Amino acid sequence: MNETDSISIIEESDKVFANTYKRAQIVIDKGAGVTLWDKEGKSYTDFMAGIAVCGLGHCHPAVVNAVKAQAEKLFHISSLYYVEPQTKLASWLVKSSFADRAFLSNSGAEANEAAIKLARKYFQDKGEKNRFKIITALKSFHGRTYGSLSATGQDKIKKGFHPMLQGFEHVPFNDIKALKEKTDKNTCAIMLEPILGEGGIILPESGYFEEVRKLCNNTGVLLIFDEIQTGIGRTGRLFGYMNFKIEPDIMTLAKALGNGLPIAAMLAKEHIAKAFVPGTHGSTYGGNPIACAGALAVAETIEKEKILDNCLVQGKYFKKQLVNLQKQYAIIKNVRGIGLMIGAELSIDGADVVKKALEKGFLINCVQTNTLRFVPPLIIKKEQIDALIEILDDIFAGL
């Protein structure tokens, strides 16, 4: 097969892969910063960042160099032995957050599985055998493994996979009354995203999380924050919970932690984390030296290059420009977001807008059928935002 022949690659791909993705008909070949190129050399400005993953952009030199250096030293050894990059990463995570302990794995779903298991194990160890129920939000997304899928509050992605695991209940996000009504003597945890990502970039109302924290304090229920999408700078703070006046008991991370490398973390306070003892949980590849080296480079770069400052400045500018578009086009119902996690809710299906943007060289996507989601690399610049706004202006004018 000719390597430059995109059609051949697409045709072969469609023959050999499980049909679980609806892919755009392009073959991405390489990337640098916020730009991607396909096999034919056409460039695309990336406002998706691999679904909020490549916070530092594509092939950031610091991450590339860290991975190269570690790959020449040690690929894998498992967590049966001590490894320096793994230790340093866990230490940075603990030092930078509310937590005392970390567990490393490979994906967001795995991190959430660890959180679910830890919450239940914590109460089992206390002798509260019937305290296993976990309450999550409707429209939430926690992953596609059976535990994380059962926790997810979206029926459409559960279709065909029932029965779900027992012990999960769902309430509307921002509805503290409903949450209180569902919380009982069998509840072990409340598991929430700081911002519903796949749910349509839904933000918490003022005071909501303070009330959730108070509820947990009063009932002894653990608060789990799923920060797979909001963590590592996406909201302009290192972790999403830092935007509110509370701390969770357990937090999960993935996506931007490795800037594209498969790595995730579950963090917890000491008295909860002690429920995990040798043999209770594990991950063959969790804490892989190469992934940890890359994640450490991400951590260092965020601080060195003032990535969070850029996220806040550009996020505010981007949101303002989208609001200006909203004033021109009634098709845009609402613009919302924090930092560089922004949604533009439309009055129509957004699939055609995504397609037209792709044709014009911009990668965006749509969640909940009608909300355009913008989660670009945190290094995005004003000129690149302006270029997308101009394209969106043209697209909306033609609808």
Active site residues: 141, 226, 255
- Residue 312 in contact with residue 158, Cβ under 8 Å? no
Is 156 in a helix, a strand, or coil?
helix
DSSP assignment of 90-110 equals HHHHHHHSS-SEEEEESSHHH
Positive or negative torsion for Cα 359, 365, 371, 376 = negative
> How far separated are the first and last CA of the chain, in Å rounded?
40
Bridge partners for 338 per DSSP: 341
The DSSP call for residue 240 is G
Distance (Å, whole) CA 46 – CA 55: 11
Among 140, 114, 115, 69, which residue's Cα sits nearest to residue 293? 69
Helix axes 382-397 and 351-359, enclosed angle (nearest 10): 120
- Token pair of 83, please? 């490894």
Contact residues for 145 (Cβ-Cβ < 8 A; gap 6+):
109, 110, 113
Among 279, 283, 225, 284, which residue's Cα sits nearest to residue 250? 225
- Token pair of 317, please? 């500018």
- Residue 121 in contact with residue 222, Cβ under 8 Å? no
Distance (Å, whole) CA 18 – CA 6: 19
- Residue 252 in contact with residue 111, Cβ under 8 Å? yes
- Residue 67 in contact with residue 290, Cβ under 8 Å? yes
Among 223, 227, 151, 153, which residue's Cα sits nearest to residue 189? 223
Cα three-residue angle 66-70-76, rounded to 5 degrees: 135
Distance (Å, whole) CA 135 – CA 188: 9
Bridge partners for 168 per DSSP: 134
- Token pair of 325, please? 């578009």
